[in-house]
């Protein structure tokens, strides 16, 4: 492609709202364009990258025995009501109505649709196993769309669904997809870590997320430095700190003490001169129902030095995430007796009490007295208060113990680029997707589902592959492999050499951009760096002597090579990069 003919508009300025390198560079390189918040379009070079990623995904899915189909993004509400997700999904579900006032949504994911297809078309064990997938736009009215392609409201996803006759079959299908995901992300040039994950609104019994490591990622993962066990922060079980002599500690008497102006854990610990580990922290929440009314109030308690993991709490409550919100202190106070800053587990009423499992083992704690400026000492689980739910709700931190081997955990941030789920019979049972076995007995089909954020993967690749000047595409997903920078397009000798290299590389299957624009060389070099094309061949003054400059986008060095050697080097580099 000749750049003079290509529709491309690079920007010198950093667009105001863009903060992350991927967002900034994709906009500046003219690869994506914003329509409205969280809605982007792809321009020629950007769309080529999307198609490369899609092609890698497609090849690996096809090789794994999955079959591509293409469903509509428009989904009737009836199917979502059958699965129970029409209300469970909340405001993220993009709801629309047709002219007859019938309700639909723009699909955020397609479990219901694929289950519907299979229940209508599969009825015998002979038709199983089956794996169907599509690459398609998804819609989620995200509360905070941001970072460009990273968290958008319309995005491209590959979603696959496996159908098996039993759990053993599902295990097999799951492993096949897991391995395909490893190959896909390897081929995309990503450094990533598969981690155990929460199943969230999708549901099911087991899951892994594939996290592209990046400091700017929104996912928080923990991994063991010794046994390699890795999980998202909501999925990593906290190891309770069991005080060694706890069992023999004499239980102190429960006492109320004055603690003026000690609303925070720090303040009360300092005032009473006890470590934070001896205090109990309270978190007040309210669960709402579908009509916006208060369903019930929740008080959660954990050791004072710990942080709450909100997803663990939501899972313990078995409520949709968007229905659980931080409480208004005045409202919850009137209803339950809780006093903001002085809430403790003793003496509350009309609240669901959730206690972090660790507190069961910790004797003689300090907690709020549910009176202004007062705390209680000698607070003991079992004797003084009981939980409605006693469960791990703490955020695991770097240095905490691995639940498997006890070694210290390390923490990392990353971008969730894919997730695989063992769904089991969650959808097939509720929607009646059954098959008949050899004896004509009916059973629910055992399902798995497998998503990859194609557009988010594009952003994640840029996060991992850029420098101050722009993107550095891995060859496998680069919009073009080689850019020929023609310094003086009106110089006949230079133009002829550039054309010759262009033709020869293209004839070998290399994708080449020829920068024949009537612009200063400096502008062209800047653009070449910004666009991130892996190999640059500059045709300039020495073209007449048969010498050109060869430079890789990953390296600072440039070398002068003969035309033939430059072509050969580019070809080798590209071929190796595609392997």
Shortest Å distance, C-beta 38 to Mg ion: 17
Contact 87, 80 (CB under 8 A): no
Query: Which of ligand ATP, Mg ion, none does residue 344 bind to, with CB < 5 to 8 Å depending on kind?
Result: none
Query: Which of ligand ATP, Mg ion, none does residue 131 bind to, with CB < 5 to 8 Å depending on kind?
Result: none
- Return residues touching ligand ATP (CB under 6 A): 109, 140, 142, 151-152, 155, 157, 200, 202, 416-419, 451, 453, 455-456
Binding mask 397-426 for Mg ion (x = CB under 5 A): ----------------------x-------
Contact 178, 186 (CB under 8 A): no
Indicate the residue whose CB is closest to ligand ATP. 453
Q: Provide the Cα torsion 240, 244, 247, 253; round to 10°.
A: -90
Shortest Å distance, C-beta 419 to ligand ATP: 4
Asked if 233 is part of the footprint of Mg ion (rule: CB under 5 A), the reply reads no
Taking the least distance from each CB to Mg ion, the nearer of 367 and 420 is 420
Residue with tokens 């002085």: 342
Query: Which of Mg ion, ligand ATP, none does residue 418 bind to, with CB < 5 to 8 Å depending on kind?
Result: ligand ATP
Contact 456, 150 (CB under 8 A): yes
Shortest Å distance, C-beta 418 to ligand ATP: 5
Q: Whole-angstrom Cα distance, residue 350 to residue 364?
A: 25
φ/ψ of residue 153, rounded to 5:
-95, -25
Taking the least distance from each CB to Mg ion, the nearer of 22 and 419 is 419
Query: Which of ligand ATP, Mg ion, none does residue 142 bind to, with CB < 5 to 8 Å depending on kind?
Result: ligand ATP
- Contacting residues for 205 by C-beta, under 8 A, at least 6 apart: 199, 422, 423, 424
Taking the least distance from each CB to ligand ATP, the nearer of 85 and 165 is 85
Q: Give the rounded distance of the alpha carbon of 528 from its chain centre.
A: 30
Query: Which of ligand ATP, Mg ion, none does residue 453 bind to, with CB < 5 to 8 Å depending on kind?
Result: ligand ATP
Bridge partners (DSSP) of residue 510 are: none
Taking the least distance from each CB to ligand ATP, the nearer of 345 and 418 is 418
Shortest Å distance, C-beta 302 to ligand ATP: 24
Residue 178 Cα distances to 199, 451, 456, angstroms: 16, 11, 19
- CB-facing half-sphere around the CA of 136: CA atoms within 13 A: 18
Shortest Å distance, C-beta 150 to Mg ion: 13
SS3 per-residue string spanning 507-534: HCCCCEEEECCCCCHHHHHHHHHHHCCC
Taking the least distance from each CB to ligand ATP, the nearer of 202 and 294 is 202
Shortest Å distance, C-beta 107 to Mg ion: 15
Asked if 214 is part of the footprint of Mg ion (rule: CB under 5 A), the reply reads no
Shortest Å distance, C-beta 460 to Mg ion: 14
Closest CA to 428 of 33, 2, 122: 122
Q: Whole-angstrom Cα distance, residue 132 to residue 62?
A: 10
Shortest Å distance, C-beta 429 to ligand ATP: 21
Taking the least distance from each CB to ligand ATP, the nearer of 70 and 144 is 144
Q: Whole-angstrom Cα distance, residue 110 to residue 205?
A: 18
Binding site for Mg ion (CB under 5 A): 419
């Amino acid at each position: 492609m000749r750049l003079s003919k290509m529709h491309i508009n690079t920007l010198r300025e950093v667009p105001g709202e863009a903060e992350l390198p991927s967002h900034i560079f994709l906009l500046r390189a003219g690869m994506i364009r914003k329509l409205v918040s969280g809605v982007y379009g792809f321009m020629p070079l950007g769309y080529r990258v999307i198609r490369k990623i899609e092609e890698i995904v497609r090849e690996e899915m096809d090789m794994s025995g999955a079959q591509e189909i293409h469903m509509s993004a428009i989904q009737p509400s009836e199917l979502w009501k059958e699965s129970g997700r029409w209300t469970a999904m909340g405001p993220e579900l993009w709801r629309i109505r047709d002219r007859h006032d019938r309700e639909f949504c723009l699909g955020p994911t397609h479990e219901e649709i694929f289950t519907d297809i299979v229940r209508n078309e599969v009825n015998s064990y002979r038709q199983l196993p089956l794996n169907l997938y599509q690459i398609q736009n998804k819609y989620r009215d995200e509360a905070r769309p941001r970072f460009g392609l990273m968290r958008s409201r319309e995005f491209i996803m590959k979603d696959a669904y496996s159908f098996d006759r039993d759990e053993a079959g599902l295990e097999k299908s799951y492993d096949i997809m897991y391995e395909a995901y490893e190959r896909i992300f390897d081929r995309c040039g990503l450094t990533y870590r598969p981690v155990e994950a929460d199943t969230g609104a999708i549901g099911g019994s087991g899951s892994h997320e594939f996290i592209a490591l990046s400091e700017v990622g929104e996912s928080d993962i923990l991994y063991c430095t010794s046994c390699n066990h890795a999980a998202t922060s909501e999925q990593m079980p906290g190891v309770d700190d069991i005080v060694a002599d706890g069992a023999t500690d004499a239980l102190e008497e429960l006492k109320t003490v004055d603690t003026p102006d000690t609303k925070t854990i720090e303040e009360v610990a300092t005032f009473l001169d006890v470590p934070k580990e001896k205090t109990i922290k309270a978190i007040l929440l309210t669960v709402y129902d579908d009509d916006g009314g208060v369903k019930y109030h929740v008080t959660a308690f954990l050791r004072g030095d710990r942080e709450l993991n909100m997803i663990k709490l939501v899972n313990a409550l078995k409520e949709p995430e968007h229905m659980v919100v931080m409480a208004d202190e005045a409202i919850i106070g009137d209803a339950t007796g809780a006093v903001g800053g002085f809430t403790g587990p003793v003496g509350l009423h009309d609240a669901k009490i959730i206690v972090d499992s660790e507190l069961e083992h910790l004797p003689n704690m300090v907690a709020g007295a549910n009176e202004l400026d007062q705390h209680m000492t000698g607070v003991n689980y079992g004797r003084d208060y009981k939980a409605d739910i006693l469960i791990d709700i703490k955020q695991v931190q770097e240095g905490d113990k691995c639940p498997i081997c006890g070694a210290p955990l390390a923490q990392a941030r990353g971008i969730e680029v894919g997730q695989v789920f063992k769904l089991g019979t969650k959808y097939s049972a509720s929607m009646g997707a059954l098959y008949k076995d050899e004896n004509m007995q009916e059973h629910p089909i055992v399902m798995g589902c497998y998503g990859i954020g194609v557009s988010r993967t594009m952003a994640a690749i840029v996060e991992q592959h850029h420098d101050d000047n722009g993107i550095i595409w891995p060859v496998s997903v680069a919009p073009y492999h080689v850019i020929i920078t023609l310094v003086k397009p009106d110089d006949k000798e230079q133009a002829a050499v550039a054309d010759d290299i262009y033709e020869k590389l293209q004839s070998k299957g290399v994708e080449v951009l020829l920068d024949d624009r009537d612009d200063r060389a400096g502008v062209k070099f800047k653009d070449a760096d910004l666009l991130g094309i892996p190999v640059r061949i500059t045709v300039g003054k020495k073209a007449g002597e048969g010498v050109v400059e060869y430079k890789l986008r990953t390296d600072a060095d440039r070398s002068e090579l003969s035309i033939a050697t430059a072509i050969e080097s580019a070809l080798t580099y590209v071929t190796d990069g595609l392997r």
